[in-house]
Chains A and B, each alone.
Chain A
């Protein structure tokens, strides 16, 4: 089954684009390659590109399936485009897309951590906690900056829709200007379920999903971690409100936090009923 899908991808890309499968998620297969799809000048030996492929789902009606695949691929492409124009938000660069077949190419972000795992937020927290359990400074810094990313996203009325700790990647590239070595920049990825929304409810759900993700993988420290995330989140709201409409922005933050609390309560009730 999976072999057939991979074979299909290889046929589509031709032998000129050798790929390595790096993730097999609920919705998509993610591959890596060092061949640029159209600009041979940028094909350096260490360059790497991400190809995300949404295969057809056999249990869906073919025409519905195709429409949905196209929709998700385009949603992801549009979000990568829109968000790249918002100062302060980091997303991978869109390279190209083929919504007819469910392919989207983007720049690769992140790196391999010294313990051999990939630098998404989830792995990073494990790694950092294990090498130096008493040095929380680095973790604080990372989580506050992640919180800020989400804050800026929400301030601009975009919601992620699947905000787990593996959909947040940490990149330590030094080329992006102000970044000194050893500093992590958080990047948001995986926008197939994202949307434009002014509703506090949607933002509350984003925050809740992330909180649950942290809770389930880092339960011992979850409370602290979530506090730092929220600290960055609030910071972003305050910074964005500088200058104009102070009051309005502040109430917006309050509204989201109130919803977040409600979503949390609903979640707890649901899990009690089980």
Chain B
């Protein structure tokens, strides 16, 4: 999916959900499949509760980028920090990032945020930069399947007990789905402030 946040119209956000991944990335491969104008972030999809969960972290990253400061390399990687409930960057990457030791990661979200003005070479058909898609599939595995990023697909793959652990959601607050999502959004929006 290709998305523009209403408040930040100069940027496009591409979000792709892949399942059945047979992850073979090395740090080097990951780095080389990011182009400078549109760095990629690889996110553990099973730790994403809903579309609002990820989108709320993206919004927060934009606020930090525009009005405060980034704590990571770029907007895409900043989303991984924003997703986490504390400001510990290495923990955040361990929980939400896909790294060279994430061999058991079946479901991966590939995120790219780029400035529309600087990115003429963007290919809307593939929702990603054409130049390195081959490499992308090498990393994700030949059998990986691109699903639409929506709530219905996330529900199928999310790991609720893990998510509750990450956000320290207590039992009494997990009685209904709205309340879980609400707890997640609260902690993302207020983290580090």
The chain A residues found within 8 Å of chain B, CB to CB, are 12-14, 16-17, 35, 37-42, 74, 77-78, 80-81, 84-85, 87, 93-101
Contact A38 B182 (CB under 8 A): no
Q: Which residue of the partner chain B has the closest CB to A41?
A: B51
Contact A100 B63 (CB under 8 A): yes
Contact A38 B193 (CB under 8 A): no
Contact B189 A94 (CB under 8 A): yes
Contact B56 A96 (CB under 8 A): yes
From A35, A40, A42, give the contact of B3 (CB < 8 A). A40
Contact B7 A13 (CB under 8 A): yes
Q: A216 to B155: give the CA distance in the assembly, Å.
A: 52
Contact A39 B189 (CB under 8 A): no
Count of chain B residues with a beta carbon within 8 Å of a chain A beta carbon: 29
B58 contacts across to A, CB distance below 8 A: 38
Residue among B5, B6, B170 with the highest chain A CB neighbour number at 10 A: B6
A12 contacts across to B, CB distance below 8 A: 7
A81 contacts across to B, CB distance below 8 A: 186-187, 189-190
Q: A214 to B173: give the CA distance in the assembly, Å.
A: 34
Q: A64 to B130: give the CA distance in the assembly, Å.
A: 50
Given contacts A13-B7, A98-B63, contact A38 B190 (CB under 8 A): no
CB distance from B106 to the nearest CB of A (A): 24
CB distance from A97 to the nearest CB of B (A): 6
Q: A37 to B56: give the CA distance in the assembly, Å.
A: 9
Beyond the given A13-B7, A100-B67, please list 13 additional residue pairs across the A-B interface where CB-CB is below 8 A: A13-B6, A14-B9, A16-B6, A35-B6, A38-B5, A74-B193, A77-B190, A84-B179, A84-B186, A87-B172, A93-B185, A95-B185, A99-B193
Residue among B9, B63, B183 with the highest chain A CB neighbour number at 10 A: B63
Verify if B68 is at the interface (C-beta below 8 Å from A): yes
Q: Can you sample 18 A-B contacts with CB below 8 Å?
A: A16-B9, A17-B7, A35-B6, A37-B5, A37-B7, A37-B59, A38-B55, A38-B56, A39-B56, A77-B189, A80-B186, A81-B190, A84-B182, A93-B182, A93-B185, A94-B186, A98-B67, A100-B67
Q: A41 to B55: give the CA distance in the assembly, Å.
A: 11
B52 contacts across to A, CB distance below 8 A: 38-39, 42
Q: Which residue of the partner chain A has the closest CB to B185?
A: A94
Instruction: Give me the 5 closest cross-chain CB pairs, A-B, nearest first.
Output: A16-B6, A81-B186, A38-B59, A100-B67, A38-B55
A96 contacts across to B, CB distance below 8 A: 56, 59-60, 63, 185, 189
Given contacts A16-B6, A37-B7, A96-B189, contact A85 B183 (CB under 8 A): yes
A14 contacts across to B, CB distance below 8 A: 6-7, 9
Q: A95 to B179: give the CA distance in the assembly, Å.
A: 13
Tell me which residues from 44 to 94 in chain B have a Cβ below 8 Å from any Cβ of chain A.
Answer: 51-52, 55-56, 58-60, 63, 67-68
Residue among A14, A39, A97 with the highest chain B CB neighbour number at 10 A: A39
Residue among B9, B170, B187, B189 with the highest chain A CB neighbour number at 10 A: B189
What is the 8 Å Cβ interface bit string for chain B, positions 1-45, against chain A (1 contact, 0 not)?
Answer: 001011101000000000000000000000000000000000000
A85 contacts across to B, CB distance below 8 A: 170, 173, 183
Q: A74 to B59: give the CA distance in the assembly, Å.
A: 17
Q: Which residue of the partner chain B has the closest CB to A17?
A: B6
B123 contacts across to A, CB distance below 8 A: none
Verify if B151 is at the interface (C-beta below 8 Å from A): yes
What is the 8 Å Cβ interface bit string for chain B, positions 128-161, against chain A (1 contact, 0 not)?
Answer: 0000000000000000000000110000000000
CB distance from B158 to the nearest CB of A (A): 16
B172 contacts across to A, CB distance below 8 A: 87
Q: Which residue of the partner chain B has the closest CB to A40?
A: B3
Contact B189 A97 (CB under 8 A): yes
CB distance from A35 to the nearest CB of B (A): 5
B150 contacts across to A, CB distance below 8 A: 41
Q: Which residue of the partner chain A has the closest CB to B150?
A: A41
Q: A250 to B55: give the CA distance in the assembly, Å.
A: 46
Contact A39 B55 (CB under 8 A): yes
Q: Which residue of the partner chain B has the closest CB to A99?
A: B193
A94 contacts across to B, CB distance below 8 A: 185-186, 189
Q: A39 to B59: give the CA distance in the assembly, Å.
A: 9
From B6, B151, B173, B186, give the contact of A41 (CB < 8 A). B151
CB distance from B55 to the nearest CB of A (A): 4
CB distance from A106 to the nearest CB of B (A): 11
